[in-house]
């Protein structure tokens, strides 16, 4: 089964933030579930959460479903491309849309897709939670993130760390307001945008 060492390391800190923000019975749509390690960890820790994993890569579905097979609160993983004009989920019923480590490993257009789609799926007052490394204006990029950014751009010229100001501009255009920034281990951020109540 595919395994991600970063997902294993960052899962506990992300879960702590999610727990502090979300209601006990939150309905959550996860974008870019990847290996399914986050879905498994988060849904197991919070059995009253209703967790919908998804990924645009159909090959990811089997491992996500296998990892989460014993968890009654995890739905079958969906094929969901954030660039699609409509997502295959109910609107607007979600308390949260969660997306970790996608914006820098996909073309820039996925940012607008994520923001617009989250706005459609979220309940009024619902949260879009985005985790990963970002360029922040006025803050030096950590050496590890400089090297990571260069490596990403060399692998694919459409990839690379995003400027938080530009990501936030896309969120604003979609009607989402930046609520909170959490500084996470290893120079990552977890950002919470809110659909106005």
CB atoms within 10 A of CB 143: 9
User: Considering the rule CB under 6 A, would residue 57 count as an interface residue with ligand SAM?
Assistant: yes
Q: Supply the minimum distance, in Å, between the C-beta of residue 14 and ligand SAM.
A: 8
Nearer to ligand SAM among residue 52 and residue 197 (C-beta): 52
Tell whether residue 43 is a contact of ligand SAM (CB under 6 A).
no
* Cα angle value 28/57/121 (rounded, 5°): 30
**Strands in the chain per DSSP E:** 27-31, 50-52, 54-55, 78-79, 94-100, 122-132, 134-135, 162-163, 177-184, 188-194
- The residue among 107 and 177 lying less far from ligand SAM, judged by its C-beta, is 107
Q: CA 185, CA 176: separation in Å to the nearest integer?
A: 25
Q: Which is nearer to ligand SAM, 5 or 24 (CB)?
A: 5
Among 56, 108, 148, 182, binds ligand SAM (CB under 6 A): 56
- Binding to ligand SAM, residues 73-112 (CB under 6 A): 80-83, 100-102, 105-106, 110
Query: Taken in order 52, 53, 56, 59, is the CA torsion positive or negative?
Result: negative
Considering only 22, 27, 34, 117, the residue that binds ligand SAM (CB under 6 A) is 34
Binding site residues, ligand SAM, CB under 6 A: 4, 7, 31-34, 38, 55-57, 60, 80-83, 100-102, 105-106, 110
């Amino acid at each position: 089964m595919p395994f991600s060492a970063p997902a294993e390391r960052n899962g506990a800190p992300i879960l702590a933030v999610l727990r502090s923000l979300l209601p006990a019975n939150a309905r959550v749509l996860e974008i870019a579930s990847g290996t399914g390690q986050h879905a498994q960890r988060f849904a197991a820790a919070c059995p009253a959460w209703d967790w919908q994993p998804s990924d645009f890569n159909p090959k990811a579905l089997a491992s996500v479903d296998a990892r989460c097979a014993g968890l009654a609160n995890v739905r079958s993983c969906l094929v969901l491309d954030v660039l699609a004009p409509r997502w295959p989920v109910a609107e607007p019923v979600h308390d949260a849309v969660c997306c970790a480590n996608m914006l820098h490993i996909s073309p820039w257009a996925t940012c607008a897709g994520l923001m617009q789609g989250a706005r459609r799926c979220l309940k009024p007052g619902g949260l879009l939670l985005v985790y990963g490394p970002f360029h922040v204006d006025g803050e030096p990029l950590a050496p590890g993130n400089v090297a990571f950014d260069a490596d990403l751009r060399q692998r694919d010229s459409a990839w690379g760390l995003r400027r938080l100001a530009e990501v936030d501009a896309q969120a604003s255009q979609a009607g989402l307001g930046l609520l909170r920034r959490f500084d996470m281990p290893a120079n990552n951020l977890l950002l919470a945008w809110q659909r106005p109540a």
